[in-house]
Structure formats: C-alpha cells, structure tokens
Amino acid sequence: MSGHGIGATDTLPAMVRVQRPDAFRWRGLANQNPGGLSFWELIREDFGAHGRVPTPGFRAIAVHRFGNWCKGVHPRVLRSPLDLLYRWMQRRVVRRHGIQLEYAAEIGRRVVIDHQNGILVQSLSRIGDGCRLRHNVTIGRRRSGDATCPVLGSNVDVGVGAVILGEVHVGDDAVIGANAVVVEDVPSGALAVGIPARIVRRAAPDHDAVRAESCAATTDGSRDDSGELAVVDVR
C-alpha cells in the first residue's frame, strides 16, 4: 500500500487514524498567535483581560495559544510530543468547558470569553483584538466544506447565543445582539440583532468613514462591500 497520501490511512493504527484529518491541517500552518509578544506575554495579557481569574474562557485561550506556539517549535521530534499534549489539553477544555477554539482560528489580543458551554470558533475564523464572546456563540462556516469563515474586527461584542456564519466581515466596535444569526457583513460600530441579523443602529459617522476607506482599499473586487446586510432597518 502506498506510504503517503490518503490511501496510507488504512495502514495507520486506529488511534492515529482518528487524529489524521487534524494532523493534515496542522502540517504547514504557521503560528497564528498575535505577533510582537512572546508566548508568556500573551498569556499574561489574556489573564489580565479575564480579570486575573483562571476562568474557563482564559484556559481555552491559553491552550489555543499553546497549540499555536507549538507550531514554531523545531525540530519536529520536540514538536510532536508538544502537539500531543496540546491535543489532550484542547479535548479536555472541550469536554469540561464546552469551548472549542480550533487551532487554525486566529484569536487576537485581549479576547475575552465570558462564561462557557457551546462556544465554537472554527478554523480560519479571525477574531480581532479586544473582542468579547459569550456562551453558545458559534463562529464558523456557512456550509460544511466551505473554506471561508467570518472575520471579526477589533472590540466586537458578541451576545449570548449569536451565530456568525460564512464569509462575513464584522467591523470594529460592532455589537451583535443575543441570539442573532449574522450571515451578511456588519459595518463598524453597528448594532445587529435578529434572525437574519438586521442593523438597528449605525455608528457615528467616523466609523463609517473608516469602513468606507477600508472598502475603497480593497482591490480584488471579490466582495460586494456596498451591500452590507441584506435586510437593513436603520432607525
């Protein structure tokens, strides 16, 4: 049987087979912890953001930071046991606290996870600095197999039970109401509520100016930044 490629799965012991999809995604990914700070400085900052209390949210983020830090460890013979330790810790956090931060998700600085249970941030999602997530928040793909995940700007406040799906951009300082289902972009500083999320309040003009500038700077044309939310009800 072939020694590499998907066909090699059959030759692996059962335990390794279970972890194989993750192992594939793991390979080649860079450390996605925010740059400019060491691992311990990041942990210290996260601890401070969580009120200097080792809450489940802090633990989940610390394990996520550790998993990403592991990617930068060389040689591989040292990295592999650290990866295994990370996987064990991550599963423990999922089991005990119900917080699943997939390792390829990008978590910014001072992100706070209030409470626990039912929190999922899928791979490739990006959470900006200073965001706040509450329990039962899901940030991930719109359909299984999609490659695109949401991008949250800085200081986004995500209410309990909110769901943010697909290729959406949530601007800086936006607020997502409890139980909202966001499937379209939310401008900076806006308040989005309901299913599907509609904007009930927009930001002060300076937020819109910043947003317009960033849209103008987008040159690939793959996103329609003019549309904002499909259903817009602005007071």
Of the residues 179, 196, 208, 225, which one makes contact with ligand COA according to CB under 6 A:
179
Of the residues 159, 171, 187, 189, which one makes contact with ligand COA according to CB under 6 A:
159
Smallest gap from residue 85 Cβ to ligand COA (A)? 32
For residue 78, give the 3-state DSSP assignment.
helix
Verify binding: residue 160, ligand COA, rule CB under 6 A.
Answer: yes
Smallest gap from residue 199 Cβ to ligand COA (A)? 10
Choices 68-76, 188-196, 208-216, 218-226 (CB under 6 A): range interacting with ligand COA: 188-196
Of the residues 71, 134, 141, 169, which one makes contact with ligand COA according to CB under 6 A:
134
Residue 133: enclosing H or E segment and its boundaries? Answer: strand 132-133
Distance separating alpha carbons of residues 190 and 220, to the nearest angstrom = 25
How many alpha carbons lie under 13 Å from residue 197 in its C-beta half-sphere? Answer: 31
By CB under 6 A, what part of segment 25-84 binds ligand COA? none
Phi and psi based region of residue 179 (left: phi greater than 0; alpha: psi -120 to 50; beta: remaining): left
Kindly tell me which of 151 and 197 has the beta carbon lying closer to ligand COA: 197
- DSSP label at residue 135: T
Verify binding: residue 181, ligand COA, rule CB under 6 A.
Answer: no
Smallest gap from residue 160 Cβ to ligand COA (A)? 4
Site size for ligand COA, by CB under 6 A? 12
For residue 143, give the 3-state DSSP assignment.
coil
Smallest gap from residue 66 Cβ to ligand COA (A)? 27
Backbone angles phi, psi at 11, to 5 degrees: -85, -5
Interface mask toward ligand COA for 192-231; x: CB under 6 A:
-xx-----x-------------------------------
Smallest gap from residue 198 Cβ to ligand COA (A)? 9
For 153-222, give the DSSP string: -TT-EE-TT-EEESS-EE-TT-EE-TT-EE-S-B-TT-EEETTTTEEEEPPPHHHHHHHHHHHHH--S--
Of the residues 18, 178, 204, 234, which one makes contact with ligand COA according to CB under 6 A:
178
CB atoms within 10 A of CB 11: 11
Verify binding: residue 177, ligand COA, rule CB under 6 A.
Answer: yes
Kindly tell me which of 166 and 196 has the beta carbon lying closer to ligand COA: 196
Distance separating alpha carbons of residues 86 and 221, to the nearest angstrom = 39
* Whether 174 contacts 207, CB under 8 Å: no
Tokens read off for 177 = 């109401």
Residues at the contact surface with ligand COA, assessed by CB under 6 A: 115, 134, 159-160, 175, 177-179, 191, 193-194, 200
